Amino acid sequence: MSSGSPTHPTSPTHPTPPAHLPPAFRLNQMIMSLWVPQVIHAAAELGVADVLAEAPLTSGDVAARLGTHPDATERLLRALVTLELLVARGERFELTEMGRCLETGSPVSRRAWSRLMGGPGVWQAWGRLTDCVRTGRMAWGAGDAAASGTEHFDAMGRDPAAAAIFHQAMVELTRGVAPGIVGAIDLRGARRVVDVGGGHGALLCAILEAHPAVEGAVFDLEHAREGALALFASRGVAARASFVAGSCFDAPPPPADVYVLKSVIHDWDDARSLQILGKCREAMADGARLLVVEPPAPTARGNATLEWILTFSDINMLVNTGGRERTEAEYRALLEAAGLSVKGVRETPSFFRVFEAVRA
């Protein structure tokens, strides 16, 4: 299991065409919008933004540096201009502010996220949405009665490149919201934190940076180890952070005062979620707390951005992991069904909320 899933960006671009256009044209534009993520994915996969990071270049220069076909490269760059990721100045192409978000080293990079969303695993899974709706099962198991329900994450152990892209995408999505989450977490009296399904540990790093007296560990599958250790070192917390390999479907996480589950429970259906929460409860000593960090689905209309994110994230969970987005009441009920008592729900500056629970 891992720290997150192909899930929701923090600032989505709404693909809905302007309402003043004829309905058939608006629908046609939405249908053709499938081309957009693949253009962005190609740019991310090839590293276009990294090549253009220092100075504008002609399409020929870009093609030479990337080793790509000159004419096809120019056509891709023109498409990126249309998407406002690039601007054409004479024969040269220059990154826009949004285009710089595809740079590998940008603090707001979404390069790995684009590579994940447009890559073969997610892209092919979404192509089976019809089967998922017919069967109620995720794409990995929609046509296979023997599917275990964990293949999506287990497969990463057999594909290190795909695992690296996935975990880096989760780092990209976590680091922007991590300060707000950390600010909402009460760690008074805590000496050790375990980030369950924490991937490379972006949230754990933020926690340890804010609390110098606290030690911590990431508990996740083995394919996250190398990236986690590298991130601990780069963030200067390696002396207080460790990685423990394991799956909380099979064993409880290691001892801690506080356990954190961010963007994990929404990956799974109720039965699997209860398994995870049950293993966490099994690990919790008297006084230990579990913090479930998720963005609850709205129960009333009003916030169009939140509705857009969670409506489509919910379908993404159906397709890719078999999970679902849940309301605050549904998260409370799930925690209570696992033998936990919800002591409070803390808001954060983003859509995420922190559900604090103890053993009932």
pLDDT tens per residue, range 171-210: 999 999 999 999 999 999 999 999 999 999 999 999 999 9
Q: What is the distance between the alpha carbons of residues 61 and 92, in angstroms, rounded to a whole number?
A: 9
Q: What is the distance between the alpha carbons of residues 22 and 236, in angstroms, rounded to a whole number?
A: 55
Question: What confidence score (pLDDT) does residue 149 get?
Answer: 54
Mean pLDDT is lowest, of 9-18, 145-154, 155-164, 179-188, for 9-18
The pLDDT mean for the chain works out to: 92
DSSP class of 85: S
Region 64-74 average pLDDT:
98
Question: What confidence score (pLDDT) does residue 300 get?
Answer: 86
pLDDT at 9 over 60: no
Question: What confidence score (pLDDT) does residue 152 get?
Answer: 65
Residue 113, both tokens: 């996220």
Q: What H or E segment, with its residue span, contains residue 219?
A: strand 215-220
Backbone angles phi and psi of 354, in degrees to 5: -110, 115
Residue 86, both tokens: 């690039």
Q: What H or E segment, with its residue span, contains residue 357?
A: strand 353-359
Mean pLDDT is lowest, of 98-102, 141-145, 180-184, 210-214, for 141-145
Q: Evaluate whether 36 touches 15 at the Cβ level (below 8 Å).
A: yes
Question: What confidence score (pLDDT) does residue 257 get?
Answer: 98
Instruction: Identify the architecture of domain 34-117 in CATH.
Output: Orthogonal Bundle (1.10)
Region 250-274 average pLDDT:
97
Question: What confidence score (pLDDT) does residue 86 get?
Answer: 98
Region 236-250 average pLDDT:
96
pLDDT at 243 over 60: yes
* Domain residue ranges in the chain: 34-117, 127-359
Catalytic residue among 8, 167, 223, 266: 266
**What's the whole-model pTM score?**
0.90
Percent of the chain with pLDDT over 90: 86
Question: What confidence score (pLDDT) does residue 14 get?
Answer: 47
pLDDT at 15 over 60: no
Region 65-93 average pLDDT:
98
Nearest to 294 by CA among 196, 206, 181: 181
Percent of the chain with pLDDT over 70: 92
Q: Around Cβ 209, how many Cβ atoms within 10 Å?
A: 16
Beta partners for residue 203, in sequence order: none
Region 224-234 average pLDDT:
97
**266 in catalytic set:** yes
pLDDT at 224 over 50: yes
pLDDT at 6 over 50: no
Region 298-306 average pLDDT:
89
Does residue 192 or residue 3 have the better pLDDT? Answer: 192
Question: What confidence score (pLDDT) does residue 250 get?
Answer: 93
CATH code of 127-359, in short, is 3.40.50.150
Region 34-44 average pLDDT:
97
Does residue 155 or residue 33 have the better pLDDT? Answer: 33
Q: What is the distance between the alpha carbons of residues 4 and 113, in angstroms, rounded to a whole number?
A: 12
User: Residue with structure tokens 């917390």?
Assistant: 237
